Chain A
């Protein structure tokens, strides 16, 4: 694996997280995400994958170790909203605000003037296929559409790094498959860096360039698998022999992960 080529967007160096209760959420982890990369953290629940995401987002501080964003400390996140965005497990939209207002929130908080912000909101909504839903309320949208709005909100600042915490986990299989494909389309167009968290092997294989397999209690990295397949990845890829091989490799990795001993080779 060539660590040298593009620079690291975010680098975790021996980062561990222990909660005040004494729970070891994450044992020391070293991981670098390169610019433009699509990395997926895959593992069972409780393996600390969401913890890693929260640490990268700056929502939690590591107990040990160092995190560098674009080669700098937390101060690199000064204009955090400009560079880093996050999509949560649920759409987390403000129920009292219309879709456009929800999507505009990061720009409003950054003090972007209204006309410019409104243009960006319209573009962002069009990008996720929600053009024309500006003045709807979140409750009027389906679960999948709410998630699209949430993604539009994340993309409205044109972030360099997009963190996604099981964004489609609550959606039905069909919607999830479609949103996965649309996300890849967006990523190919825009070339931002994505750190994606999921517990679905198939989602991980379909989306990622690199899959980091994690194990639970305490959370730790177990394995790294490169999904060396060309983009764009189509629906044909989903049913190909190669897809199954990748999935099986990850599957055995996860079985290993769920073993109580979980020895690292």
Chain B
């Protein structure tokens, strides 16, 4: 007979393995079906390349793709950092003054809903340095979640704790630092997850519009060029690199959030079965 404790632990292990094994299984299945279909119907590689051909392109073009990845990553991370910095700053201002929020928030919304593809050409004309122009475009895409989430978080203070602060006559600086900032942390980290992905999307869209080639060629340019040249295997390879980059960014943010909140916030508590 196995102790209930051991049974529970075994169940937990099974669950953990399943969590990884199940999606990996789906991926393998899709890849196999894909490979079989392409081979069976003898589809040309300039329309649908088989997974093996894509893998081959990924290996052969790695030098090119790696270089482009660095270019795109630089824009993405630059924009992300700028969005977090400026967004947080704006959120602090909004949280301190309702008046300021009322007058400026609609413009933040306008910035958010205007398609970046439509604004990018203008920014690229106005800003001489292409790199900076691209970073600005991606920042516009990524900044909104930081502003709205962090503002919401800075306002979402437990009324009981607020009363406590008033009871002890805490100054507004004390309230901000001791109460508002920690209360906003879960919202802020939630914003990081969304914003990091948006920064990458923004960078890709801006690159598409700018169409920078040569040494400044990012992944978007490689996809564009590969499409024009019907080099579909390379297009797929670039797409895979791009997707993996997005996933890596997301996971980094999840990890960061976990590290910052795991001691207290419900969202990051490890569920213990008792």
Determine if B265 and A59 form an interchain contact, defined as CB atoms under 8 angstroms apart.
Answer: no
Which segment of B13-21, B109-117, B156-164, B224-232 sits at the interface? B156-164
| Complex Cα spacing A86 to B160, Å | 11
Determine if B158 and A137 form an interchain contact, defined as CB atoms under 8 angstroms apart.
Answer: no
Determine if B160 and A109 form an interchain contact, defined as CB atoms under 8 angstroms apart.
Answer: no
Which listed residue, A86, A94, A97, touches B167 by the CB 8 Å rule? A86
| Complex Cα spacing A81 to B165, Å | 10
Determine if A139 and B264 form an interchain contact, defined as CB atoms under 8 angstroms apart.
Answer: yes
**B138 shortest CB reach to chain A, Å:** 32
Q: How large is the interface on B (under 10, 10 to 19, 20 to 34, 35 or more residues)?
A: 20 to 34
Determine if B168 and A59 form an interchain contact, defined as CB atoms under 8 angstroms apart.
Answer: no
> For the complex, is A126 an interface residue (Cβ under 8 Å from B)?
no
Complex contacts, B182 vs chain A, CB 8 Å = 94, 96-97
Determine if B160 and A81 form an interchain contact, defined as CB atoms under 8 angstroms apart.
Answer: no
Contact A105 B169, CB 8 Å, known A94-B182, A95-B264, A96-B182: no
**A51 shortest CB reach to chain B, Å:** 13
Chain A residue nearest to B166 (CB atoms) is: A59
Within 8 A of A (CB), among B153-200: 158, 160-161, 163-170, 174, 178-179, 182, 185
> For the complex, is A57 an interface residue (Cβ under 8 Å from B)?
yes
Which listed residue, A58, A59, A105, touches B178 by the CB 8 Å rule? A105
Complex contacts, A57 vs chain B, CB 8 Å = 167
Complex contacts, A109 vs chain B, CB 8 Å = 165, 168-170, 174
| Complex Cα spacing A160 to B99, Å | 40
> For the complex, is A90 an interface residue (Cβ under 8 Å from B)?
yes
Within 8 A of B (CB), among A215-241: none
> For the complex, is A202 an interface residue (Cβ under 8 Å from B)?
no
> For the complex, is A133 an interface residue (Cβ under 8 Å from B)?
no
Determine if A59 and B167 form an interchain contact, defined as CB atoms under 8 angstroms apart.
Answer: yes
Which listed residue, B164, B178, B265, touches A92 by the CB 8 Å rule? B164
Q: How large is the interface on A (under 10, 10 to 19, 20 to 34, 35 or more residues)?
A: 20 to 34
Determine if B185 and A81 form an interchain contact, defined as CB atoms under 8 angstroms apart.
Answer: no
* Residue of B160, B164, B264 with most chain A CB atoms under a 10 A cut-off: B164
Within 8 A of A (CB), among B248-274: 263-265, 269
> For the complex, is A43 an interface residue (Cβ under 8 Å from B)?
no
**B186 shortest CB reach to chain A, Å:** 10
Complex contacts, A97 vs chain B, CB 8 Å = 182
Determine if A96 and B185 form an interchain contact, defined as CB atoms under 8 angstroms apart.
Answer: yes
**B181 shortest CB reach to chain A, Å:** 10
Complex contacts, B169 vs chain A, CB 8 Å = 80-81, 109
| Complex Cα spacing A105 to B165, Å | 9
Determine if A106 and B168 form an interchain contact, defined as CB atoms under 8 angstroms apart.
Answer: yes
Within 8 A of B (CB), among A24-74: 57-59
| Complex Cα spacing A90 to B159, Å | 11
Chain A residue nearest to B169 (CB atoms) is: A80
Determine if B161 and A92 form an interchain contact, defined as CB atoms under 8 angstroms apart.
Answer: yes
Determine if B164 and A80 form an interchain contact, defined as CB atoms under 8 angstroms apart.
Answer: no
Complex contacts, B160 vs chain A, CB 8 Å = 88, 90, 92
| Complex Cα spacing A137 to B264, Å | 7
* Residue of B161, B166, B168 with most chain A CB atoms under a 10 A cut-off: B168
> For the complex, is A110 an interface residue (Cβ under 8 Å from B)?
yes
| Complex Cα spacing A88 to B160, Å | 8
| Complex Cα spacing A148 to B263, Å | 21
Determine if A94 and B179 form an interchain contact, defined as CB atoms under 8 angstroms apart.
Answer: yes
**A108 shortest CB reach to chain B, Å:** 8
Within 8 A of B (CB), among A194-217: none
**B47 shortest CB reach to chain A, Å:** 55
Determine if A59 and B264 form an interchain contact, defined as CB atoms under 8 angstroms apart.
Answer: no
**A103 shortest CB reach to chain B, Å:** 12
Contact A105 B164, CB 8 Å, known A92-B158, A94-B179: yes
Complex contacts, A95 vs chain B, CB 8 Å = 264-265
Could you pull out 30 A-B pairs where Cβ atoms are within 8 angstroms?
A59-B163, A59-B166, A80-B167, A80-B168, A80-B169, A81-B167, A81-B168, A81-B169, A84-B167, A85-B167, A90-B160, A92-B160, A92-B164, A94-B161, A94-B178, A94-B179, A96-B182, A96-B185, A96-B265, A105-B168, A106-B168, A108-B178, A109-B168, A109-B169, A109-B170, A109-B174, A137-B263, A137-B264, A139-B264, A139-B269
Enumerate chain A interface residues (CB-CB to B < 8 A). 57-59, 80-81, 84-86, 88, 90, 92, 94-97, 105-106, 108-110, 137-139
Enumerate chain B interface residues (CB-CB to A < 8 A). 158, 160-161, 163-170, 174, 178-179, 182, 185, 263-265, 269
What 7 A-B pairs are tightest by C-beta distance, nearest first? A92-B160, A81-B168, A95-B264, A96-B182, A96-B264, A109-B168, A109-B170
Other than A59-B167, A96-B265, give 9 A-B pairs with Cβ distance below 8 A: A59-B163, A80-B167, A84-B167, A86-B163, A88-B160, A92-B164, A94-B161, A105-B164, A139-B269
